[in-house]
Homo-oligomer: A and B are copies of this chain.
Amino acid sequence: MSGAALEPQATIGILGGGQLGRMLALAAARLGLKCHVLAPSPDSPAFEVVHRVTCADYNDTEALDRFAADVDVVTYEFENVPAETATFLAARVPVLPDPKILATTQDRLAEKTFVGGLGIGTAAFAAVGQPAELAAALAHIGRPAVLKTRRYGYDGKGQATIRNGTDPEAAWREVGGQPCILEAYVPFEREVSVVAARGTDGNVECFDVTENEHRDHILKVSRVPAALSKAASQEARRVAEVIAQKFGYVGVLAVELFVLRGGALLVNEIAPRVHNSGHWTLDGASVSQFEQHIRAVAGWPLGKPIRHGRVEMINLIGEEVADYRRWLSVPGACVHLYGKAAVRPGRKMGHVTRVFAE
């Protein structure tokens, strides 16, 4: 089912209760829309900012049924929504973006094949279904190469680098002995991302290209604009737009790209959701990625993003959240905390945005 434009009193159902779901709900609230969050964990951060919550597993069909009956459209904050959940809901209420897209983005092999099919560059890759296929794949891709699980990897989990001395079978065991993709190691100069929104009317609006700095495989700092040539920047936005259009996407997606010396771009990954590298838009632009997503799934026109200046977004990871008090006193720093009670290493606890005159 695809949806007509929602009335301002409508209710958006959000699958997932983390900080992305929380910030989506806050954006919906600005627009007068209600949200109902479904998530399995009782201490989901998104529960605190909405009046209607369902605390249930994603395969609890009774709960899903009640949830579907209460909402006008369903969207999600994460890409690993079980296919059965999406199918169950889509039979009852519009689900946006279309769950069929998840089949592509949940599988690194399908995703890279899709991107390559659009004539857009990626790292060289080969499927590795079982250890016996490792040698041939390595011969094709060369070393160094990165072995990644086809499914469920994020923040560097489910990845192993195979260098000259590495035993490929050890890498296979390291990632859990499951269907993989072997990718050529890309000697990139920088990592950038484009956060783009596509509306039900087919209009696409891209935020400015963002440069991303990772630490221990976790995003640490985003800077906008990225230090790219105008041509590379336009090409990055074009790539995101082509992907969004080809998917017939509705909502916000992020395309992560490697920038090679000389400016060539390779797509690393597509996230079919709002993305950490777009958090700067909350304070640094006239419309945020969260509001764009809500506008899109509501069938409302997208905003035209106007950037307020040069922007820097810094993630507060694990114990770094204790810095919030210092950040509160920094002139112009916008502090966001996600309301997570338990501090764990590597856990995203909040972020800080700074906007500077350009």
The reply to whether the CB of A9 lies closer than 8 angstroms to some CB of chain B is yes
| Cα of A53 to Cα of B50 in the assembled complex, Å | 11
A286 at interface by CB-CB < 8 Å:
yes
Report yes or no: A328 in contact with B341, Cβ–Cβ below 8 A.
no
Give Cα A26–Cα B26 distance, bound, in whole angstroms. Answer: 7
A274-291 residues with Cβ-Cβ distance < 8 A to B are: 283, 286-287
Cα distance A57–B223 when bound, in Å?
49
A49, A306, A332, A334 interface centre (most CB from chain B within 10 Å):
A49
Chain B residues with CB under 8 Å of A303's CB are 328, 331, 333
How many angstroms from the CA of A341 to the CA of B290 in the assembled complex?
23
Closest to A29 in B: B49
A325 and B332 CA atoms in complex are apart in Å by 32
Residue pair A339, B26 in contact (C-beta under 8 Å): no
B contact residues around A304 at 8 Å (CB): 331-332
Q: Does the CB pair A337–B306 fall under 8 Å?
A: no
Q: Which of A30-38, A67-75, A121-129, A134-142 interfaces with chain B?
A: A30-38
B51 near A8: Cβ-Cβ < 8 Å: no
Cβ-neighbour of A50 out of B9, B51, B286, B332 (below 8 A): B51
* Identical chains bound together, number: 2
A338 touches which of B26, B32, B301, B355 (Cβ 8 Å): B32
Decide if B300 touches A328 in the complex (CB within 8 Å). yes
CB closest chain-B residue, reference A328? B301
- Chain B CB within 10 A, most for which of A34, A331, A339: A339
Most buried by B among A48, A295, A303, A324: A48
Query: In the complex, what residues of B have CB within 8 A of residue A286's CB?
Result: 283, 331-334, 355
Cα A301 to Cα B327 with chains together (Å): 10
A50 to B283, CA, bound (A): 22
Whole-angstrom CA separation of A337 from B31 in the bound complex: 5
Per-position binary interface string of chain A over residues 40-84, scored 1 when its CB falls under 8 Å from any chain B CB and 0 otherwise: 000000011111010000000000000000000000000000000
Cβ A48 vs Cβ B48 within 8 A = no
A53: B residues at CB distance < 8 A: 51
A250 CB, min distance to chain B CBs, angstroms = 16
A25 to B332, CA, bound (A): 21
The interface residues of chain B lying within 8 Å CB-to-CB of A283 are 286
Taking CB atoms, residues of chain B closer than 8 Å to A29 are: 22, 26, 48-49, 339
- A53 and B333 CA atoms in complex are apart in Å by 31
Please give the distance in Å from A294's CB to the nearest CB on chain B. Answer: 11
Instruction: Please name all residues of chain B whose beta carbon is closer than 8 Å to the beta carbon of A308 when the two chains form the complex.
Output: 308-309, 355
Interface 1/0 per residue, A317-343 and B, CB below 8 Å: 000010011001101111111111100
A350 at the interface (CB under 8 A from B): yes
A22 to B32, CA, bound (A): 10
The 8 A-B residue pairs whose C-beta atoms are closest, nearest first, are A32-B337, A304-B331, A32-B339, A29-B49, A301-B329, A286-B332, A308-B308, A306-B332
**Measuring CB to CB, which residues of chain A are less than 8 angstroms from any residue of chain B?**
8-9, 22, 25-26, 29-34, 47-51, 53, 283, 286-287, 295, 300-301, 303-304, 306, 308-309, 321, 324-325, 328-329, 331-341, 350, 355
15 A-B pairs with C-beta separation under 8 A = A8-B339, A26-B49, A29-B48, A32-B338, A32-B350, A33-B337, A34-B48, A34-B339, A286-B333, A286-B334, A301-B328, A303-B333, A304-B331, A304-B332, A306-B331
